[in-house]
Homo-oligomer: A and B are copies of this chain.
Amino acid sequence: MIIVLKPDVTKKQFDHVLERIKALGLKPMVSKGTERTIIGVIGPEDALRVQPLEVIPGVEKVMAVLKPYKLVSREFKPQSSVIDVGGVKVGGKELVVMAGPCSVENRQMLFDVAKAVKQAGAQVLRGGAFKPRTSPYSFQGLGEEGLKLLREVSKEFGMPVVTELMDARDLPLLEKYADIVQIGARNMQNFELLKEVGLTQKAVLLKRGLSATITEFLLAAEYILSQGNFNVILCERGIRSFETHTRFTLDLNAIPVIKKLSHLPVIVDPSHATGEWEYVEPMAKAAVACGADGLMIEVHPNPEVALSDGPQSLLPKKFAAMIKELRKVAKAVGRTI
């Protein structure tokens, strides 16, 4: 931790800062420059991090030297993590494609989509039973009924299931029916939910919040790891910017940044990011090209009657064609699908 003092700091203020640092069992190192005096603090920075040193009179600013997260960092674990989900490995050389309808609407539709995406190359089946909807008047999902259908269909095709958890009270249900518990973008900082899934050993797919910085994203993952669950898969799904042609702005920069900072696998959801099926394929290719470990794609047999997110859903045929193209890009960057 570096503490920069104001140019007009008094002797009394200066002594008070030193005292506070020592009181925490830390060792201050003072450097007097021509324009500012700075104090470097040697020793575990965590004790200082939670101290509001900025408010001490005479302090101009406090600059952290270390990152605020630990367990998710590459410094803590240099080799990339591979999360095993019912035999499917996320984070390895082979890219993982999670595909399916936005919401589970009925058995037939789910069956048809699962069959099609499995055939095309998807390894994991996605589908929402509990749906976070911006409007209270929109379809809110089938609930447990949807979970049962997911489990049933997934067994039929031997595909692990990923589905969203919105309420900690539903966790036992998801533990029973799902292989990967998804924490949605709007719940990325629902810390109670993070702690709860952290207490299980279920794989967690953590989506980046709409306005979460990468640091906040990693800290949300840290919540889960700090409870003992290291099976976390990160998912970039677009952030909020001023641009309105796409629903969100897919931040692909985040992929190499996260890969550098963390050992956790990271996948990309181009369906939610763009909000329009025409843009899903180019952004999926870009995601693969810049190093994502997988994709999450919405597929619907008849988007114009989908109960949610129709505009961004691909037809099964289009999905299959896209996977073929993605295989070429994956090969170009030394990966497989």
Contact residues of A with B, CB < 8 Å? 2, 4, 7, 20, 29, 31-36, 38, 40-46, 49-56, 63, 65-66, 68-69, 75, 132-140, 166-169, 186-187, 189-192, 195, 209-211, 213-216, 219, 222-223, 226-227, 239-246, 249-257, 260, 273-274, 276-279, 282-283, 285-291, 303-307, 309-311, 313, 325, 328-329, 331-333
Report yes or no: B190 in contact with A52, Cβ–Cβ below 8 A.
no
Q: A222: which of B135, B278, B291 is its contact (CB, 8 Å)?
A: B135
Determine the distance from Cα of A29 to Cα of B44 in the docked complex, in whole angstroms.
Answer: 20
**Complex contacts, A257 vs chain B, CB 8 Å:** 245-246, 279
Report yes or no: A189 in contact with B186, Cβ–Cβ below 8 A.
yes
- Shortest distance between the CB of A65 and any CB in chain B (Å): 5
| Chain A to chain B contacts (Cβ below 8 Å), 30 pairs | A29-B31, A34-B42, A34-B44, A36-B65, A52-B303, A52-B304, A52-B309, A55-B277, A55-B304, A68-B134, A68-B137, A132-B189, A169-B169, A190-B190, A209-B211, A211-B211, A214-B243, A239-B241, A240-B240, A241-B241, A249-B251, A253-B273, A256-B279, A256-B283, A260-B278, A282-B291, A285-B290, A289-B329, A329-B329, A329-B332
**Complex contacts, A209 vs chain B, CB 8 Å:** 211
- Shortest distance between the CB of A111 and any CB in chain B (Å): 22
Determine the distance from Cα of A49 to Cα of B135 in the docked complex, in whole angstroms.
Answer: 10
Determine the distance from Cα of A69 to Cα of B65 in the docked complex, in whole angstroms.
Answer: 24
- Shortest distance between the CB of A208 and any CB in chain B (Å): 10
- Shortest distance between the CB of A259 and any CB in chain B (Å): 8
Residue of B with least CB distance to A57: B304
Report yes or no: B251 in contact with A213, Cβ–Cβ below 8 A.
no
Report yes or no: A283 in contact with B216, Cβ–Cβ below 8 A.
no
Determine the distance from Cα of A41 to Cα of B34 in the docked complex, in whole angstroms.
Answer: 10
Report yes or no: B40 in contact with A31, Cβ–Cβ below 8 A.
yes
Report yes or no: A282 in contact with B278, Cβ–Cβ below 8 A.
no
